[in-house]
């Protein structure tokens, strides 16, 4: 960006000419190039005569988008816009976030990943294979368009609830970058999606002649660890101030990578930390509606994978902040996995499970349906559960009996059915409404329409990580934080919960709506930046200065004037 010293006009100096500009999605303006730009940049004859405004292009493109027959076709169409003109794509997304987030991210992005090799039209981001890792510095330098400050990276092993999709999992980092830009306001030139293509164990992909990934079984063990280490060291050398977001790794690897690198590079895991922070924000709002306290609740968390563990970690962290001891916290959080209530005498307990495992003495005197396994119904009844959280991808797991028991324990029970997509949700809004008489406070992982019944407007909040991770990333970068801490995520949860107004609380909403996500990202970023400063991990500037810096960092997609620069310069 340059500024004309006489007129004060902001403009970009462009070193390309003709079709090279039109083929560059960061520079292309389509029909919005002015007459002067067309002449000076050698675009004459390459465009139709009419000159449009960005507003006209958005209207025209939105009309085409809405004519598509289904969500997957809408996804493919939007990716085509992104590949052609990034400013147009992000302005379209910015102005239609509530409508388009389910298309560019969950749930539609999952459909796209299942067949990415069949529908991909243009490569985006970087793919790093075991054959490439020795040249990681060169790949990072040559494969990025500018000074990168955000990297979203996956190895494709656990894409949403779909499993191992190999390099077809690239749709997830691309989707996350779309939200960092559209919701958070980061500039797309500084954001890089990366897939570590270490192979796949998915026979469908290995047998698919169209699959474009690394056709080998996955790296594991020491070879995998060495590969990741070389990648991280490369990022630190080439982009020493970048934030690294780990995305959709297998459970055991996700926890290992988060712990191994959180002190060595500015990084976090959204599946664990972002999910936990979002859920905690919804619970904070629920406590205001219930006029109760978090430490007075009994939590049942079903599914102790990345998301469930992240939620349990964040509830535990907030309860510790509220002054409870570890023993008191264990009496309030009951975690279930496949065999039932997690017990401390289970063989081979995973490290993240140990914090929430119950001693046998804790269930002495419980009335159980079977002594072999303590199920959800047993725990809800005997523990006096007031909050029920599901991250299992098991549809209808929370049946009328379980929801009825929960409603008997509390006048305003909290239910969080967080599995994606809608078909995998542990219960529906109708299930909760019937079982609780409309008194339940509900958040879901997938979008559901509000339930309007006579005398009742039963609102369903979507607990989507998009409310947290764009702001956390923006706040960590603006504050120049040396690491992302648990306390930053607690601060993010509080900021998100504060975005729910009293009127929304009166309707039972636990989280804001997607239409205000840019302001949500600002407030979350501000809270994270202040926490970084107050904990001695970020730059020491005033609150007002942080507000100004974050506002200035939030890019608004618009076309800037172009002037010709030296060709190839």
> Which residues does the annotation mark as catalytic?
105, 176
- Counting DSSP H helices and E strands in the chain, the numbers are 25, 17
Q: In what order do the strands lie in the sheet with 562-564?
A: 2-3, 10-14, 562-564
| Contact residues for 36 (Cβ-Cβ < 8 A; gap 6+) | none
How wide is the angle at C-alpha 21 spanned by C-alphas 38 and 37, nearest 5°? Answer: 20
Report the distance separating Cα 254 and Cα 247, nearest Å.
8
Contact 514, 98 (CB under 8 A): yes
Cα separation values, 409 from 143, 368, 460, 510, Å? 56, 17, 21, 20
SS3 265: coil
Compute the distance between CA of residue 281 and CA of residue 412 in angstroms, rounded to an integer.
17
How far, in Å, are 5, 110, 125, 407, 426 from residue 103 at the CA level?
Answer: 43, 10, 19, 35, 22
Dihedral of CA atoms 421, 423, 427, 428 in degrees, nearest 10, equals 90
Q: What is the C-alpha to C-alpha distance for residues 254 and 276, in angstroms, rounded to an integer?
A: 14
- CA 251 – CA 202 distance, rounded (Å): 17
Q: Quickly list H helices, 239-274.
A: 251-261
396: left (phi over 0), alpha (psi -120 to 50) or beta: left
- CB neighbour list of residue 74: distance below 8 Å, 6 or more residues apart: 65, 68, 103, 108
Strand partners, 390: 302, 417
Strand bridging mode 150-154 / 387-390: unpaired
- Residue environment code for 83-99, b if the CB has 16+ CB neighbours within 10 A, otherwise e: bbbbbbbbbbbbebbeb
């Amino acid at each position: 960006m340059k500024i004309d010293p006489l007129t004060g006009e902001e403009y970009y100096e462009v070193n390309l000419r003709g079709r090279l500009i039109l083929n560059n999605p960061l520079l292309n303006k389509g029909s919005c190039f002015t007459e002067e730009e067309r002449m000076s940049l050698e675009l004459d004859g390459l465009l139709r005569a009419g000159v449009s405004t960005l507003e006209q292009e958005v209207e025209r493109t939105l009309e085409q988008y809405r004519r598509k027959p289904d969500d997957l076709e809408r996804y493919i169409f939007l990716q085509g816009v992104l590949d052609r003109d990034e400013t147009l794509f992000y302005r379209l997304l910015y102005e239609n976030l509530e409508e388009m987030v389910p298309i560019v991210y969950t749930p539609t992005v999952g459909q796209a990943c299942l067949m990415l090799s069949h529908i991909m039209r243009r490569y985006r981001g970087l793919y790093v294979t075991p054959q490439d890792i020795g040249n990681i510095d060169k790949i990072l330098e040559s494969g990025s368009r500018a000074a990168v400050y955000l990297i979203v990276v996956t190895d494709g092993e656990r894409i949403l609830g779909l499993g191992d999709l190999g390099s077809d999992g690239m749709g997830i980092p691309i989707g996350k970058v779309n939200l960092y830009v559209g919701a958070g306001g980061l500039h797309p030139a500084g954001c890089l999606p990366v897939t570590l293509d270490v192979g796949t164990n998915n026979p469908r992909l290995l047998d698919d002649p169209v699959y474009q990934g690394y056709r080998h079984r996955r790296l594991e063990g020491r070879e995998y660890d060495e590969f990741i280490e070389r990648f991280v060291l490369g990022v630190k050398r080439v982009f020493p101030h970048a934030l690294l977001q780990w995305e959709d790794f297998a459970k055991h690897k996700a926890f290992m990578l988060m712990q191994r690198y959180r002190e060595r590079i500015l990084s976090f895991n959204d599946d664990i930390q972002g999910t936990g922070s979002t859920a905690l924000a919804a619970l904070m709002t629920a406590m205001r509606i219930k006029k109760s306290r978090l430490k007075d609740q009994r939590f049942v968390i079903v599914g102790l994978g990345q998301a469930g563990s992240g939620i349990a970690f964040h509830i535990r962290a907030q309860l510790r902040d509220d002054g409870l001891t570890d023993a008191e916290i264990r009496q309030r959080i009951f975690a279930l996995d496949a065999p039932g209530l997690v017990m401390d005498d289970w063989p081979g307990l995973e490290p993240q499970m140990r914090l929430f495992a119950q001693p046998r003495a804790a269930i002495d005197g419980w009335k159980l349906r079977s002594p072999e396994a303590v199920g959800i119904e047993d725990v809800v009844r005997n523990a006096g559960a007031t909050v029920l959280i599901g991250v299992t991808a098991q549809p209808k797991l929370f049946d009328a009996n379980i929801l009825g028991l929960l409603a008997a324990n509390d006048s305003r029970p909290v239910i969080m059915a967080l599995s994606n997509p809608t078909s995998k949700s542990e219960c529906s809004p109708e299930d909760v409404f019937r079982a609780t008489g409309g008194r339940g406070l509900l958040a879901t992982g997938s979008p559901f329409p509000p339930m309007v019944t006579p005398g009742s407007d039963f609102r369903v909040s979507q607990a989507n990580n998009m409310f947290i991770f764009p702001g956390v990333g923006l706040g960590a970068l603006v504050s120049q934080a040396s690491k992302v801490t648990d306390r930053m995520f607690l601060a993010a949860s509080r900021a998100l919960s504060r975005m729910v107004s009293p009127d929304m609380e009166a309707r039972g909403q636990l989280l804001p709506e997607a239409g205000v996500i840019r302001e949500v990202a600002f407030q979350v970023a501000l809270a994270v930046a202040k926490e970084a400063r107050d904990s001695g991990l970020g730059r020491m500037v005033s609150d007002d200065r942080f507000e100004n810096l974050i506002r200035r960092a939030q890019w608004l997609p618009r076309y800037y004037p172009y002037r010709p620069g030296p060709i190839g310069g």
